[in-house]
Each structure stands twice: as C-alpha cells, then as structure tokens.
Amino acid sequence: MSLSIANRAASLPVAYRLYLPEAWTRDRARRKKAGVPKDIKFMTKPEIALEQIRWACEAGLPRGVGLMDTAYGNDSRLRAGMTDLGVPYVAGILPNTLMWRSGTGPRRKGKPLNNTGRRDEPDLISAKEVTLGLPKRAWRTVKWREGSADWLSSRFARVRVRVGHNKLVPEKLSPEWLLIEWPEGGSGANQILALDTAGERQLPTACRFCQAALAHRARLSGAQARGRAWSLRGTRLARLPSSRHSCASPLMDS
C-alpha cells in the first residue's frame, strides 16, 4: 500500500507499507520463513491508510483533499480519523451505506448500531434511498471543464447526512455531505460520495473533487487522467485540479 501527494501535474508516493493478510499473522512458520518481524501485527487496509495519513500530517507534508474509493471510503473510522486530523476528504461509499437524513437522528443515544439495524432505528435509511427520495429541486446541472466539442457536465445533488456505523456512537461522528451524481435520463446514480469540509465549498468545486475521485477510482492511465498517475495503491492526498484540467472519463460502477 502507498500514500501519494498529487497536484494537476504529477503525483509522488510518500509512504509505503506491505499489507499482511490476517492469515499470515497467525502462521508462525510462514512468518519465520518470510522474515516478518515479530512486532508486525495485523492491520486492515483502512487502518494502514489512516496511519500513513497521520504520519504525513506529523511530517508536515503539504495537505490537500484525500481521495478514496469505496474500499477505503466506506470505512467510517477512517473518515472520522481524517476529520480529527483536519484532512478533508472525498470518499466513495456504497449505495447500501446506512445514514440519517438532516432533521433525523439516532434514537438509541450513546450506543453504536447493533445487529437489529433499522428495526431499532426507523429513520435510518440507505444512501440509495436518500438519493431516490430527493425532490427535483435538489438536483443541479454542473459544468466542470471544457471538452473538445462542448462543456462536460452532469447532474448533481448534495445533502447533509449522518452516517451510521456498528462500532461507533453516531452522535460522536461529524455530519457529512452526501454528493450524488445522476445524469439526466440515467437509470441510476453514477457516484455516491461522502465529503466532510470539502462538501462545504461551492457546488462546482465539490463536483470537480467528485471527478478527481472518479479518476482515482477508475485507475486511469496517465494519459487518460490528463497527465496525473491516478493508480489506486491506497489513499491519495490530492490538491484540487483547476476547472480546465479536471479529470473526465467513462463512469465506473462502485
């Protein structure tokens, strides 16, 4: 796994770590044969990502906006950790991620979600349900850069939510912005993203973050990403491309 810092011209890996599967951590013979140090314990990929981001902050590296696909972005503990570090993010999340809409909240105060899920929390709904329930006035067509023939644009909506997590107390999690891309006439949403302070910026700016996150998730080649190497090896602290150089690409499913 690696962490990179990037701008519109280039990207630079700044932290590396080999991911050790949990089965390896329990196999003493395999660890000894491979020379794995005894102090190396199992960590999930989001845990490693947060450790790398924390190191980058402590080292004083230039800060930007963290771009993450659903493999990392769907982890509420990683997003909460980045918020604690003051690192804004644009994170892909799954359509079945449970959350409370603005104006609603958990009824079981001080407790994380349990296995009964929405039976105890009737206001808890999925990101997909939030998307389908948005009124027509919530959607806005946004242009993000000039293409070869015309401006590239799509339809976006942004709504304030609080995401639920089965190991975290909901009230202790900061509210997040849900940014959804759903082109006019499309059969469904192309992207569902969770943003923290990055979502408070003007909608066109947030949408350019959305397109940068898409390029990151799609593992575009340098040429496709207009000169940026958006290979997915972990999280990425990226500075916002200018509107003229924002990424554009075929949309991918989460």
- Return the higher-pLDDT residue of 46 and 149: 46
Q: Indicate the pairing of strand 151-163 with strand 140-146.
A: antiparallel
* Alpha carbons 111 and 106: distance in angstroms, whole number: 9
Measured distance CA(114)–CA(80) in Å, rounded: 19
Beta strands in the chain (DSSP E): 2-6, 11-16, 65-68, 89-92, 98-101, 125-126, 140-146, 151-163, 176-181, 191-195, 236-238
CA 160 to chain centre: 16
Whether residue 7 contacts residue 229, with contact meaning beta carbons closer than 8 Å, is answered with: no
The closest alpha carbon to 127, from 92, 77, 90, 178, belongs to 178
The tens digit of pLDDT for each residue in 217-230 reads: 454 333 333 333 32
Answer yes or no: are the C-beta atoms of 14 and 61 closer than 8 Å. Answer: yes
Count of positions (residues) in the chain: 254
pLDDT tens digits, one per residue of 150-193? 777 788 888 999 888 777 777 777 888 898 888 887 777 777 77
Mean pLDDT of 201-210: 68
Rounded Cα distance, 191 and 253, in Å: 7
First to last CA, the chain: 20
Residue type, 64: G
